[in-house]
Amino acid sequence: AVLLNLHISAYAAIAIAGIIAALWLSLRTAPLRGLPPERLWDAGVFAVVAAFVLSRLLGLALFIVVEHGQLTLSLRDVLSFSSISYLSLAVTAIPVLLWLRWRRLPLLRVMDAWSPCGALLWSALSLADAASGSGNGLPTRLPWGIRSAGSPAVRVHPVALYTAAAALALCATLFSLLRRTRQPGRIAAIAFLAGGATLFLLDMLRVPDQPPLSNNLLDMSQWIALAAIAFGACLLAFVPRAPSQEAL
């Protein structure tokens, strides 16, 4: 008999569990915004598949450009969960918006319903980072510091665990607000504001991506956090004041 060993990394296992949990939660948040649960589930599945496919295509295209056509990328690298980039997530928004338009799902209400789900998925991915040994931060003398993989004698901030806990708390808060707040777009705005602020503050505990003497003022993740805060502020300022004014 031929035995086939299927190895699934800790990151992939936790990421898959997080995706399933987020989709399940969408079935609970959809009725709170007057959305058909099965249609929001379908939209979530489409968003996950689109993000995965586009990230693989963008990563492969970028690699080909960098290597000038000398393709040596392994299949494991192409299929890695952790290679989903900020760019691929931004590009994914385009087909997702088209899908919502096609399925006649109101954008603001969908964003509200997806806000706790996104926070839950963020928590799971941060936990996956911690399980895979990444996501650690600057050295610390605090008692809950963990040993660095590169230097076992040094204890560092478990930033991935901080992020997982903060995102889980954000998920619970957004779900509670979703049950009490009816104005469309309000929950999504709070999610962007709180999520962006959390990401920006916790990123200060990470090892900077850029050298200390570089000309870059902030890391890419901090710029993303500021963009999220700005987008959330715009939602608060410009979202319709009445449900009847909501539109895609």
Quick one: pLDDT band at residue 36, thresholds 50, 70, 90? very high
Is residue 11 within 8 Å of 133, Cβ to Cβ?
A: no
**Residue of 160, 134, 118, 127 lying closest to 14 (CA atoms):** 127
**Coil, strand, or helix at residue 72?**
coil
pLDDT at 209: 61
Q: Could you give the percent of the chain with pLDDT greater than 70?
A: 77
Please, what is the average pLDDT of the chain?
82
Quick one: pLDDT band at residue 38, thresholds 50, 70, 90? very high
* Measured distance CA(90)–CA(51) in Å, rounded: 9
Is residue 188 within 8 Å of 175, Cβ to Cβ?
A: no
Residue type, 159: V
Residue type, 160: A
Is residue 165 within 8 Å of 198, Cβ to Cβ?
A: no
Is residue 174 within 8 Å of 242, Cβ to Cβ?
A: no
Residue 73 C-alpha from the chain's centroid: 25
Give the DSSP letter of residue 152.
T
**Coil, strand, or helix at residue 126?**
helix
| Count of beta carbons in the 10 Å neighbourhood of residue 87 | 13
Could you read off the pLDDT of 130-181 as tens digits, one per residue? 888 777 788 888 888 887 766 677 888 899 999 999 999 999 999 999 999 8
- Give me 220's structure tokens: 């890419």
Per-residue pLDDT at 108 exceeds 70: yes
Could you read off the pLDDT of 192-237 as tens digits, one per residue? 999 999 999 998 888 776 555 445 677 778 888 999 999 999 998 8
pLDDT at 142: 84
Q: E-assigned strands of the chain?
A: 146-147, 155-156
pLDDT at 140: 86
Count H helices and E strands in the chain, helices first: 8, 2
Q: Stretch 64-80: mean pLDDT, rounded?
A: 49
